[in-house]
């Protein structure tokens, strides 16, 4: 498809149109050269279908344009690229066409900005980097070395743009990666509640949210009452009460209750800005190591000024005194640190690992404890119903129909297994109950045809709800297959069925736990709400150091608190609603992408559900990031201190010191943007993940 000119908006339209094609694996569109690089499957007639799709593509196609999210990052990058290009071209133009007198006048005028910043810092009682910059520029101008002063200001301008770009891009990338991934929503229609794609929802439609649901769209409450956690948007520590007439926002979470909401803004509206504010307010981008480096850069400024003064007093040589002013530690430290973090987050993203900030990578690197949930993490996220044992004369299909009707409202791997089994058997399970109450880590309670219906754990059904076993059928309960997890269904206070769920252990689980130990994790724990017999068997099979069974959500969080009291750093990995307290309590909470939406929202890092090897990659990336930050730190301090010493010794002139200082800053910044894990370094530890990537890549073509 020939194109003589392409705008950023057109490039986004083409890119997201191509990404929507099932056989397209990856796309990169470059508006400046009007090129698109497309990686697609070679299976079947994919190539012919790609050509056909491109032939029918139009930038004016409303359906194609609707695929583009509100923020793609393309315009942000183009904006900063233009700013840097303008700075470089402006400097070249002045060097070529301005006479010396005009260049001096321009330098003097431009210096007022830096001198003003230095004076403002002094007026605020702070001796920080702006004071050092102003002193270096002023000293150069007093010596009539306007070339050095101009070079210093140019490099400071470029450094400031790069630092701002890095921060803005970090926030933008994270905000887009953290955007809601709620794909389905329950719509209220005149006949019944319908599960629909969130993209199909229009302004004025009614949708329903219940306990632990993330609210997918902005809207006004028209029915019901609930408490809503709005911390991600407003920072409120206490949940807000919502009732008829109240307003709810996309991304907030229903803690308790049920609401019917009228849509006022379609999918995506407003969520991006809310996340950007959250990231900027909470300083999630900076790791502790980063922050220490920043503070050190500012603390060294008074020493640099004192060194310049002492050098001048002892030698009466202005050039030697300027050596302290021409070299500062701030530029390189404040540029390389965020670039290293951004590069690590980007690299993690190439392996489908979404990280919400640099401090969480540091937490992963420092952790010496990992706590796994069992279902959906150590086991596959796709369990299946293997058997249904009925009681009280109920038929299997009828028990399954009721169970699926209840479970479809709360997507979790076990609930999905029940719904999928009903679908396999062709069982319709339309809405036939009143409002549903979800009891976290226990089960679901509702009412069907005037009878109370409950489904959940043994503890919930028999101990909390006091259900009984039909007379003469106790032997069935006592002889349930031990190899399965069990889901209990009771109607009107009497056991109706037990659904036997098989959730196979991940093949790589034992190897991953062994590798985690080799990577410095001293203890791997498992916390599960499943019965002790099943938990014990799994722990023994994969060499778990410690396990706890039949635990409640608050008990998982309490265990992590107890580890903190012992001075331990803890990672928590889970996928369900019942894991959210522990995910919040841990130094770093990691959610599996196929798990509950609220778990992904609360977690600090999200990994794809395909393979546990991603945890090894995450640990390695995190450790390598901390190593790089410390390495950059040592190099910057050592190299710049050497430049100062050489200048004081009279070996280097101030202009040479400034040039070498700024060159080292650029080199350090470029190094910080390189990958942390060359393939040969980690391929032997990630066989399943790499094999999967090779399968995808091996059957792909690039156009």
pTM beyond 0.75, yes or no: no
**DSSP annotation string for 522-590:** -EEEEE-SS-HHHHHHHHHHTT-SEEE-S--HHHHHHHHHHHHHTT--EEEEE-SGGGHHHHHHSSEEE
Residue ranges in the chain whose pLDDT is less than 70: 1-4, 70, 163, 166-167, 170-171, 173-183, 191-192, 199, 212, 231-238, 266-294, 297-298, 326, 328, 330-331, 381, 410-412, 429-442, 596-597, 609-610, 655, 679-703
Q: Please give the pLDDT value at position 309.
A: 82
Return phi, psi of residue 104, to 5°. -65, -45
Q: Which helix (H) or strand (E) holds 515?
A: helix 509-518
What's the rounded Cα separation, in Å, for the pair 164 and 170? 10
What's the rounded Cα separation, in Å, for the pair 574 and 580? 8
Q: How far is CA 229 from CA 29, 142, 178, in A?
A: 39, 59, 17
Q: Please give the pLDDT value at position 430.
A: 67
Residue whose C-alpha is closest to residue 353's, from 25, 612, 11: 612
Residue matched to tokens 């926030």? 171
Residue partners of 45: CB distance under 8 A and separation at least 6: none
Residue whose C-alpha is closest to residue 501's, from 379, 383, 396: 383
Q: Please give the pLDDT value at position 691.
A: 45
Q: Please give the pLDDT value at position 597.
A: 66
Q: How far is CA 668 from CA 494, 631, 635, in A?
A: 69, 10, 9
SS3 of residue 197 by DSSP = strand
Contact 488, 418 (CB under 8 A): no
What's the rounded Cα separation, in Å, for the pair 581 and 560? 10
Return phi, psi of residue 373, to 5°. -75, 160
Q: Taking each helix axis from N to C terminus, what angle separates 330-350 and 358-366, rounded to the nearest 10 degrees?
A: 80
Residue partners of 201: CB distance under 8 A and separation at least 6: 185, 187, 207, 216, 217, 263, 266, 267
SS3 of residue 681 by DSSP = helix
CA dihedral 270, 274, 277, 283 (to 10 degrees): -140
Buried b (16+ CB within 10 A) or exposed e, 567-593: eebbbbbbbbbbbbbbbebbbbbbbbb
Q: Please give the pLDDT value at position 231.
A: 62
Output the six-digit token pair for 82: 């233009």
Residue partners of 405: CB distance under 8 A and separation at least 6: 429, 430, 431, 432, 433, 448
Return phi, psi of residue 528, to 5°. -145, 150
What's the rounded Cα separation, in Å, for the pair 609 and 619? 17
| Chain centroid to CA 59 | 31
**DSSP annotation string for 450-496:** TEEEEEE-HIIIIIIS--BPPTT-HHHHHT--TTSEEEEEEETTEEE
Output the six-digit token pair for 302: 């008074």
CA 140-88-111 angle, to 5 degrees, is 30
- Topology of domain 8-68, CATH: Alpha-Beta Plaits (3.30.70)
Strand partners, 505: 379
C-beta atoms surrounding 43 within 10 Å = 9
Q: Please give the pLDDT value at position 175.
A: 62
Contact 448, 433 (CB under 8 A): yes
User: What is the SS3 assignment for 420-450?
Assistant: HHHHHCCCCCCCCECCCEEECCCEEEEEECC
> Which CATH architecture does the domain made up of 384-502 adopt?
3-Layer(aba) Sandwich (3.40)
CATH 2.70.150.10 domain position(s) in the chain: 184-267
> Which CATH architecture does the domain made up of 184-267 adopt?
Distorted Sandwich (2.70)
CATH 3.40.1110.10 domain position(s) in the chain: 384-502
Residue matched to tokens 């009681």? 391
What's the rounded Cα separation, in Å, for the pair 238 and 231? 8
For 151-196, what is each residue's pLDDT tens digit? 878 877 887 787 677 667 766 765 665 554 556 788 887 766 787 7
CATH 3.30.70 domain position(s) in the chain: 8-68
Output the six-digit token pair for 53: 């799709």
For 546-581, what is each residue's pLDDT tens digit? 999 888 888 899 999 999 999 999 999 988 777 888
């Amino acid at each position: 498809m020939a194109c003589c000119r392409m705008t950023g908006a057109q490039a986004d339209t083409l890119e997201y149109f191509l990404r929507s094609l099932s056989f397209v694996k990856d796309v990169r569109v470059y508006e400046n050269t009007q090129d698109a690089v497309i990686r697609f499957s070679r299976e079947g007639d994919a190539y012919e279908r790609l050509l056909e799709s491109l032939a029918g593509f139009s930038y004016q196609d409303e359906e194609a344009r609707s695929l583009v999210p509100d923020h793609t990052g393309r315009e942000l990058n183009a904006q900063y690229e233009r700013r840097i290009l303008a700075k470089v071209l402006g400097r070249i133009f002045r060097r070529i066409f301005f006479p010396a007198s005009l260049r001096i006048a321009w330098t003097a005028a431009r210096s007022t900005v830096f001198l003003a910043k230095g004076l403002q810092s002094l007026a605020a009682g702070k001796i920080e980097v702006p004071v050092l910059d102003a002193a270096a520029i002023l000293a150069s101008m007093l010596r009539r070395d306007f070339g050095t002063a101009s070079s210093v200001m140019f490099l400071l301008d470029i450094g400031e743009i790069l630092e701002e770009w890095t921060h803005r891009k970090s926030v933008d990338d994270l905000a887009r990666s953290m955007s809601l991934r709620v794909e389905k929503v329950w719509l209220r229609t005149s006949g019944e509640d319908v599960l629909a794609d969130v993209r199909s929802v229009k302004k004025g439609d009614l949708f329903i949210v219940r306990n632990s649901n993330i609210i997918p769209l902005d809207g006004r409450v028209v029915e019901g009452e609930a408490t809503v956690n709005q911390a991600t948007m407003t920072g409120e520590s206490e949940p807000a009460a919502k009732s008829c007439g109240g307003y709810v926002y996309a991304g907030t979470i229903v803690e308790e209750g049920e609401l019917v909401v009228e849509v006022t803004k379609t999918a995506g509206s407003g969520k991006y800005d809310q996340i950007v504010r959250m990231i900027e307010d909470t300083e999630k981008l900076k790791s502790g190591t980063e922050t220490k480096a920043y503070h050190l850069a500012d603390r060294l400024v008074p020493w640099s000024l004192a060194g310049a003064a002492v050098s001048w007093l002892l030698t009466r040589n202005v050039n030697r005194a300027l050596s302290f002013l021409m070299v500062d530690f701030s530029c390189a430290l404040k540029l390389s640190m965020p670039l290293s973090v951004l590069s690590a987050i980007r690299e993690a993203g190439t392996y489908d690992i979404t990280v919400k900030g640099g401090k969480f990578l540091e937490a992963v690197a420092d952790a010496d404890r990992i706590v796994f949930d069992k279902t959906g993490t150590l086991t596959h996220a796709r369990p299946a119903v293997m058997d249904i044992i009925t009681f009280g004369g109920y038929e299997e299909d009828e028990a399954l129909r009721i169970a699926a009707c209840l479970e479809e409202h709360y997507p979790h791997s076990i609930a999905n297994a029940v719904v999928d089994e009903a679908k396999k058997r062709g069982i319709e399970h339309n809405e036939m109950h009143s409002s549903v109450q979800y009891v976290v880590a226990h089960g679901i309670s509702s009412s069907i045809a005037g009878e109370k219906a409950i489904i959940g754990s043994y503890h919930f059904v028999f101990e909390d709800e006091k259900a009984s076993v039909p007379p003469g059928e106790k032997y069935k309960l006592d002889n349930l297959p031990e190899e399965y997890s069990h889901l209990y269904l009771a109607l009107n206070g009497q056991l109706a069925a037990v659904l036997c769920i098989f959730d196979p252990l991940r093949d790589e689980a034992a190897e991953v736990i062994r590798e985690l130990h080799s990577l410095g994790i001293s203890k791997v724990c498992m916390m599960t709400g499943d019965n002790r017999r099943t938990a014990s068997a799994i722990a023994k099979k994969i060499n778990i150091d410690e396990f706890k069974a039949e635990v409640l959500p608050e008990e998982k969080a309490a265990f992590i608190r107890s580890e903190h009291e012992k001075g331990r750093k803890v990672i928590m990995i889970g996928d369900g609603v019942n894991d959210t307290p522990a995910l919040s309590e841990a130094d770093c909470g990691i959610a599996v992408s196929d798990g509950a939406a609220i778990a992904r929202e609360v977690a600090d890092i999200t990994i794809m559900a395909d393979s546990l090897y991603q945890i090894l990659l995450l640990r390695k990336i995190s450790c390598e990031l901390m190593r790089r930050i410390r390495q950059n730190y040592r190099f910057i301090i050592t190299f710049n201190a050497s430049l100062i010493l050489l200048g004081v010794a009279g070996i280097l002139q101030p202009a040479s010191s400034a040039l070498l200082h700024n060159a080292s800053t650029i080199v350090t910044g470029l190094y910080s943007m390189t990958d942390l894990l060359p393939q040969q370094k980690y391929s032997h530890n990630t066989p399943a993940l790499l094999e999967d990537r090779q399968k995808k890549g091996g059957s792909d073509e690039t156009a």
